[in-house]
């Protein structure tokens, strides 16, 4: 019997938690990482994958995506596995009234690991219900979170349009009652400022998503990062990319990153519109961050280790021996590419000569996506049909 089920050879391993960035082989037994070494004997593994010229990193963790409730939600596997994402957080598609339905119809049927933020709206992320304050019950929300702490990470507040932070305050209360965090997607309007939201209605550990949205300008009138964003970061607020279809503008991201205000976590806000108009999968978002000046190693850290820490899942986000064998094998592809942003003034592009593309996804030790058949033998080895049993 061989020691390993799967062996990745000759790849460039980037594992920020374990301070690894170089050529390493990665061996997997069952669902766990069993050995990392400069060279591992290929005769000891049932399957060997040559990862030359590729980057091996922990399975990507998308901290903001939509697979339930929201009108553009997409089934998790199709939007995660082809892009190296092995864990996703559904950002408020369900509320306390609908979480059980999501669990039955989506979470329990997905290969990708799906965790959830409960919407403060009991009915979930349904556009007209998001304005109904009487459907925002912090106690019922906290009770449902406490019932399923294994699957629910926190609270989501989004799209509330009245001129107050009432929905945010109810979300904060639910987070406090359940000992979790709150993720917020709210645009400022006159009389309801982003400064007030960040400094007076959110606390350390809460997340502001869509940090480079044109409608939530991080860059102020003097073309510098607003002071209250800097102060909020000092206070422990976490800043999440949350790309989406209307929430990522190069005009905000480029100067903010140049001035040192990088995302804590890279996420897609993946749903139908973001897929169709912006291709906002994880490698696409990582590519954008890389071309705006963040190093590849940092980009990977913000897409793996950082979100695992937000979720409190130390077995994910790295490839230490004994950890979960969730892996993305990425490649830098050269060519002519246009990266597309969005915002309330339409889409625009940034031309680049290379992109990050996912080649292979491993979830719990199993290959679940293989773009170029790296894990398969050649077709010439196909056995002949058993003609004797047919004729
Ligand atoms: Zn979203």
pLDDT value at residue 343: 79
3 state SS of 175: helix
Question: Ligand 1 centre and the CA of 31: distance in Å?
Answer: 31
Please, which pLDDT band fits residue 34 given cuts at 50, 70 and 90?
Answer: very high
Phi and psi at residue 109, to the nearest 5°: -105, 5
Q: How far is the CA of 63 from the centre of ligand 1 (A)?
A: 10
Whole-number Å distance, alpha carbon 45 to ligand 1 midpoint, is 41
pLDDT at 268 over 90: yes
Query: What pLDDT, on a 0 to 100 scale, did the predictor assign at position 277?
Result: 87
Distance between Cα 158 and ligand 1 center (Å): 8
b vs e for 28-46, b when ≥16 Cβ sit within 10 Å of the residue's Cβ?
bbeeebbbbeeebeeeebe
How confident is the model at residue 127, as a pLDDT? Answer: 83
| Residue 269 Cα to ligand 1 middle (Å) | 5
281 pLDDT higher than 90: yes
Please report, for the chain, the start and end positions of each structural domain, with discontinuous segments joined by +.
Answer: 59-311
Q: Determine the distance separating the centroid of ligand 1 and the alpha carbon of 91, expressed in angstroms.
A: 6
Please determine, for residue 263, whether its predicted confidence score (pLDDT) is greater than 90: yes
Contact 25, 10 (CB under 8 A): yes
pLDDT at 128: 86
Which residues does 120 contact at the CB level (< 8 Å), separation at least 6? 92, 95, 136, 138, 141, 155, 156, 157, 167, 170, 171, 174
Q: Whole-angstrom distance between the N-terminal and C-terminal Cα of the chain?
A: 37
CATH of domain 59-311: 3.20.20.140
Phi then psi dihedrals of residue 250, to 5 deg: -60, -30
State pLDDT tens for residues 80-112: 999 999 999 999 999 999 999 999 999 999 999
CA of 113 to the centre of ligand 1 (A): 18
Predicted structure pTM score: 0.97
Ligand 1 centroid to residue 67 C-alpha, Å: 10
Q: State the distance from the centre of ligand 1 to the C-alpha of 358, rounded, in angstroms.
A: 23
With a pLDDT cut of 70, the percent of the chain lying above it is 100
Q: Torsion angle of alpha carbons 190, 233, 67, 55, nearest 10°?
A: 140
In this structure, are residues 302 and 264 in contact, taking their beta carbons and an 8 Å threshold? yes
pLDDT the model gives residue 275: 87
Q: What is the pLDDT of residues 120-175, one digit of tens each?
A: 999 999 988 999 999 999 999 999 999 999 999 999 999 999 999 999 999 999 99
- Residue 71: band (very low, low, confident or very high) from pLDDT cuts 50, 70, 90: confident
Spatial contact of 121 and 166, defined as CB atoms under 8 Å apart = no
What is the pLDDT averaged over residues 295-312? 98
């Amino acid at each position: 019997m061989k020691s390993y089920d799967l062996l990745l050879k000759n790849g460039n391993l980037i594992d920020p938690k374990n301070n690894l960035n170089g050529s390493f082989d990665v061996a997997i037994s069952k669902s766990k990482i069993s050995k990392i070494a400069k060279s591992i004997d290929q005769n000891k593994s049932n399957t060997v994958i040559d990862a030359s010229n590729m980057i091996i990193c922990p399975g990507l963790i998308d901290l903001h995506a939509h697979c339930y409730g929201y009108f553009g939600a997409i089934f998790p596997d199709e939007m995660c596995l082809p892009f190296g994402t092995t864990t996703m957080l559904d950002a408020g598609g369900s509320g306390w009234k609908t979480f059980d339905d999501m669990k039955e119809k989506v979470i329990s049927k997905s290969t990708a690991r799906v965790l959830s933020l409960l919407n403060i709206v009991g009915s979930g992320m349904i556009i007209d219900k998001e304005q109904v304050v009487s459907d925002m019950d912090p106690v019922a929300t906290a009770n449902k979170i406490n019932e399923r702490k294994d699957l629910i990470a926190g609270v989501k507040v989004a799209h509330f349009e009245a001129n107050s932070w009432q929905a945010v305050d109810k979300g904060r209360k639910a987070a406090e009652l359940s000992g979790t965090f709150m993720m917020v997607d709210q645009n400022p309007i006159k009389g309801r400022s982003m400064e007030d939201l960040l400094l007076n209605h959110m606390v350390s550990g809460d997340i502001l998503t869509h940090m480079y949205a044109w409608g939530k300008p991080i860059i102020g009138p003097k073309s510098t990062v607003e002071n209250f964003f800097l102060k909020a970061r000092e206070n422990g607020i976490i800043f999440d990319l949350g790309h989406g279809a209307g929430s990522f503008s190069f005009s905000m991201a480029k100067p903010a990153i140049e001035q040192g205000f990088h995302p804590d976590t890279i996420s897609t806000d993946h749903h139908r519109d973001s897929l169709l108009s912006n291709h906002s999968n994880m490698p696409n978002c990582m590519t954008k961050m890389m071309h705006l000046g963040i190093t590849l190693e940092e980009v990977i850290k913000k897409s793996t280790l950082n979100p695992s820490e937000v979720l409190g899942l130390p077995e994910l986000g790295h490839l230490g021996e004994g950890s979960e064998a969730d892996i993305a094998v990425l490649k830098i592809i050269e060519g002519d590419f246009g990266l597309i942003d969005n915002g309330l003034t339409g889409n625009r592009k940034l031309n680049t000569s290379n992109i990050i593309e996912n080649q292979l996804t491993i979830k719990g030790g199993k290959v679940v996506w293989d773009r170029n058949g790296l894990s398969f033998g050649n077709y010439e080895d196909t056995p002949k049909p058993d003609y004797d049993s047919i004729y």
